[in-house]
Structure 1
């Protein structure tokens, strides 16, 4: 039986939301590989910084990460030293890429979205060289319109990555669900005009993610998949 009142016209159904995912700590379990890689890069440069302070900056662009390090340590670095530091992080992380695996439920979540006709992509503040090997591990198509740090002027917490992801999907940012694991993801999502959803799999607490305006917080991708209806995604 129809739920419409007699004489009423059916309203046009709004489009289903598209999804733009962060990568590290959101779809793949790589946060601590990044933490250790930054720790080793900083040690090479003779910069002492506690591991927990490094973790709090994961999700930022490399440039903002280094600015935060300089602020906290009081050590000034010139442009050449900054570039060497970022290159050293990339080198150490590349040696650990083989260790990185998808977070529980991530491939299944992406397959489900594809099966029910939901557009999705990945937007990461990592470089393409580090991000591309993750696509095969996630079962994502090689031609996925992924956005990486190489393609935008500014990374998180600026909105550029998520705006570019929405553009590649051909959708308005206001109809995008951004899924991330850090407060930097959620700040960038809000600035993009998108709905932010948080995951605990990157190490941030639920209260922190909610204070950064996460609409919902789930444990990891598999938990999000279990509750996917809460985000307006219907079955096939």
Structure 2
């Protein structure tokens, strides 16, 4: 019997070439060092309307959308605000954060990590709970190319911990969310990743501990983008965008 292409036989090897992985990145605390500026901005906004909340409670909510962030805090404090007042509070936060833009920097290794993925032919996108106006300076500081998909809060119905942002980012790359890695610094990122069917990678650069990130579904945890860059092989990335 003649051998057919692809037929199995003793000692015959097969080489399967799976698609390279794609990465969906959160922004604040993951690629740019801005978590504590957001905390300060929320603190200022809340105080201006007479709401006193401990700073640690604010930090635990960073990563949610602004609207959900406010709702969660109001539920904890028992304060009631109208929809218009909630919108105004978010605007006050945006204005306060804008005053701190000058202190926001890319996290160590962030630009190098993105450049390395691009150089290896690995697709990536950014999905942030921030609105376009708030996110833009951080994106500019990273030098994000115009052809890289960026999904902000303005473009989806619900933000983290709902999966909408990551699902939209995956669609923008033309891949299934289940074939992506979601890289984030908060439990909200990782919960959204699980709901999207993606594998989560946690970074400690936003202030959450390793155990918290792992309990929320992180497949791997690194200190920051610089450490992740050194361990790309653990995520199946190798030269030319192939899988290890």
Shorter-chain TM-score: what band? over 0.9
Q: Secondary structure at the match of 1:16?
A: coil
Choose which of 217, 224, 230 in structure 2 pairs with 1:226: 230
Please state how far the C-alpha of 1:95 moved relative to its aligned partner: 1.2
1:130 aligns with 2:134: yes
1:138-169 CA deviation, whole Å, 9 max, x = no partner?
Answer: 12213421000000000000000000000000
Q: How does 1:54-69 map to 2 (within 5 A)?
A: 54-69=58-73
**Structure 1 residues without counterparts, runs of 5 or longer:** none
Please state how far the C-alpha of 1:5 moved relative to its aligned partner: 8.0
- Specify the alignment match of 1:167 in structure 2: 171
Q: How does 1:122-161 map to 2 (within 5 A)?
A: 122-161=126-165
Please state how far the C-alpha of 1:90 moved relative to its aligned partner: 0.6
1:50-91 CA deviation, whole Å, 9 max, x = no partner?
Answer: 000000000001111111111111101111110110010011
1:52 aligns with 2:67: no
**Structure 2 residues without counterparts, runs of 5 or longer:** 1-7
TM-score, scaled relative to structure 2: 0.93
1:90 aligns with 2:98: no
TM-score, scaled relative to structure 1: 0.96
1:177-202 CA deviation, whole Å, 9 max, x = no partner?
Answer: 00000000000000000000000000
1:91-148 CA deviation, whole Å, 9 max, x = no partner?
Answer: 1011111211000000000000000000001000001111122223112213421000
- Specify the alignment match of 1:36 in structure 2: 40
Distance 1:143 1:97, change over 3 A: farther
1:182 aligns with 2:182: no
Q: Contact (CA 8 Å) 1:136, 1:142: kept in 2 or not?
A: no
Consecutive aligned runs of 4 or more in structure 1 exceeding 2 Å deviation: 4-9
